[in-house]
Amino acid sequence: MTFETSRVIPPDHPSLAGHFPDAPIVPGVVVLDEVVAALAEWRQDSQLTGIPSVKFIGPIKPGQSFVIGFDSTNTAENQIDFCCRLDGRMVVEGRLEISCGACI
């Protein structure tokens, strides 16, 4: 991985109200929002232009710490692979398309 960061979606996050109230899981769009925020931390000159692929393999529950990792070594200049891991196992994987001032 080229960059990794940890995230936690708190149990009181507004998106969780009504999202499986008896067994809450973090909605995919919230996970992707955290992925985009992590991308902005890593590459401040980047802007997301698309998400050509994403696969949700397992759920993330509120309050669980998960790791977002990026890898740009096997992609085109304007693409970055990402994954989210929970307790060492992959729960989300995908590819981002970006535009930037100085892509590496």
Total residue length of the chain: 104
Q: Which CATH superfamily is domain 3-100 in?
A: Hotdog Thioesterase (3.10.129.10)
Token pair for 36: 């985009």
Distance in angstroms (rounded) separating the CA atoms of residues 26 and 29: 8
**Which residues in the chain show pLDDT less than 70?**
1, 101-104
CA 44 from chain centre, in angstroms, equals 16
pLDDT for 103: 52
pLDDT for 75: 75
What are 5-25's pLDDT values in tens digits? 999 999 999 888 777 778 889
Token pair for 24: 């809450």
DSSP designation for 85: E
